[in-house]
A and B are shown apart, each in its own frame.
Chain A
C-alpha cells in the first residue's frame, strides 16, 4: 500500500485498484474542531479535484477534493456520530471514504510522504 498527498491536504492510500481518502493531520489542525462531515453517497463518481465531501468545523465549512478520479464504494459511518475522529485520527480512523480508481496514472501528479512533509514545512 502506498500513501499519496495533495497540495490541498488530502491523503489517499492505494491498494491495487482501490483507495482510501482522508485529510491530513495538518489539515485538521488548521480546520479546528470538526462538528460534521458531509460524505458522498456510495456509487458517486468524481473527477480529480472535484468536491467529494465537506468538512464543517466550528469556524467554517471546507471542501474536500477527490485526489484522483474514481467511484466511491464506502464511506466512514463512524463519522456520523463522532465527526471529531477527523481531529483525533485524521490519518487513520478518521478516514472519509473508499473508492475505486478510474485511472491510476493520475497518482503520479501527487506527492509522497516526504514531499508532503517538506511542502507543509514551507507553509
Chain B
C-alpha cells in the first residue's frame, strides 16, 4: 500500500498519459482489443473464438466471465475515529454494517450532488472502499480534505481487482479458492479472505452484472497467476468492458459519469436505498439538507428504464419526448443482447416516470417509441 498525498496522472505538458494496469500484457496476449478507459488501457472485447461483445455478454449470462476492473480505486480508511469520519462524508449507517459485508454508498457534495458511487466494507483493520476508476483521484482528494488528520487514507494501488460473474462463477471459484470459509458459504454481499494461486485474496459475493458472482482483490504481482488460474476453469472466459457495460445496463445499474454525476442527487437517481434509515432522520452528511428535502417533497426528475421497440438503439444524450414536449434525456442506451431489443436509462420529468408510460426518443430526427420500464430490465440472480 502507498500513501496518496501525491499523485501525478498527467505529464508536464498537461496531456493525460494513458497508464497500464497489471494485466495489460495478459489481455493483449489473449486478443484483448485495448482502448483508453478511465486513464488506462483496457480491453473493450477479445478477438478470436468466443470473443466479441455479444458472445462475451451471453457467455457471462450463461456460464462465467472474468473481468479485470483494476482501474477502480481500492482504498483503506483506518485509525481512531475512522467510523465517525466516514459517516461525516457518506450517508451510511455504519452501526448496521457488519464485518466483511460490502454495502453500496454515495459520495455527495454539499448540494447533494453525486461525486461518486462506491462500496464500503468493514474490515478488521479499517474500512475498505472500492470507488470508480475515473473519479478515484478526485475521491482521494475529497476524502483526504474531509477526513481528520488522524484518520489514515491508503490507496491500495499495489492491488488488482478482478470480477468473476455468472451462474457458474461459484462452482469455478470453489474449485480453486482455499480458505476457512467455503465459497458456497458466502451469500450476496458477504466476503471473506481466501488464498488463490498462492496469493492472499479478499473475495466478496458481489458484482456489476446482475448475475451471481464475486469481486476479487489480490496483490498486483499475483494478478497474472490468479487470472490464469481462473481462466483455466472450463466455465470461464475473459470478458471486456463492452459486455460489462451491456450487462450492467440490463441489470439497471447506473454507471458513474453517465447515469450519475454531480448534477444528479440520490432521489432523482432513484438511489434512496443508499441513504441509510438512521441518516434519513439524523442527516449529518454532505448535502443532507437538500437530499432530505427532496426525499420528503420528491424530485423534479427521476432515473428510469426505457424499453424500445424494434432494433434501432438510442444512445446517451438522446432527448425523450411526451408528444411535443421534451421531458428528459438518455444517460445510457444500447441493444440488450438478452432481450433482443434496445434499452436505455434516462432522467425524465417525474410526471412521466411511472412504469408503462409511453414516450418517444429522438434519434437523428426520427422518433422511436419507448415505454418506461421498471429496473432491472433483466432480473437479478444474486445468491441471497
| Residues on A facing B (Cβ under 8 Å) | 32-33, 35-36, 38, 54, 56-61, 83
CB–CB B53/A33 < 8 A: yes
Q: Is B133 located at the chain interface by the 8 A CB criterion?
A: no
Residues from chain A with Cβ under 8 Å of B364 in the complex:
54
Total A-B residue contacts, Cβ distance less than 8 Å: 42
On chain A, the residues within 8 Å of B335 by CB distance are: 35-36, 56, 58
Contact: B44 with A56, CB < 8 Å? no
Which of under 10, 10 to 19, 20 to 34, or 35 or more describes the interface residues of B?
10 to 19
Residues in chain A near residue B334, CB distance under 8 A: 58-59
Other A-B contacts than A32-B53, A56-B335, A83-B311, 8 sampled, CB-CB below 8 A, are: A33-B54, A35-B342, A36-B312, A36-B335, A56-B311, A56-B313, A57-B53, A61-B315
Give chain B nearest CB distance to A40 CB in angstroms.
12
The reply to whether A59 and B312 form a contact with Cβ atoms under 8 Å apart is no
B373 within 8 A of A: no
Q: Mark B334-377, 1 if CB is under 8 A from A, else 0.
A: 11010000100000000000000000000010000000000000
Contact A35 B313 (CB under 8 A): yes
Given A32-B45, A33-B53, A35-B335, is A59 in contact with B311 using a C-beta cutoff of 8 Å? Answer: no
Q: List 6 A-B contacts (CB under 8 A).
A: A32-B45, A32-B54, A36-B311, A38-B312, A56-B312, A60-B315
**Which residues of chain A are within 8 angstroms of B312 by Cβ–Cβ distance?**
36, 38, 56
Q: Which residues of A contact B242 (CB under 8 A)?
A: 32, 58-59
* Residues on the A chain within 8 Å of B332, using CB: none
Q: How far is the CB of B377 from chain A (nearest CB, A)?
A: 15
- The CA of A56 and the CA of B342, in the complex, are separated in Å by 11
Q: Is the CB of B52 within 8 A of A33?
A: yes
Verify B313–A32 contact, CB threshold 8 A: no
Would you call B337 and A58 a contact (CB within 8 A)?
yes
Residues of B within 8 Å of A35, CB to CB, are: 311, 313, 335, 342
Q: Can you list the 6 inter-chain pairs with the closest CB atoms, starting with the nearest? A: A36-B311, A33-B54, A35-B335, A58-B53, A36-B312, A56-B313
Report how far A54 CA is from B54 CA in the complex, Å: 19
Residues from chain B with Cβ under 8 Å of A54 in the complex: 364
Q: How far is B242's CA from A38's CA once the two chains are assembled, in angstroms?
A: 22
Chain B residues contacting A59 (CB-CB under 8 Å) are: 44, 53, 242, 334
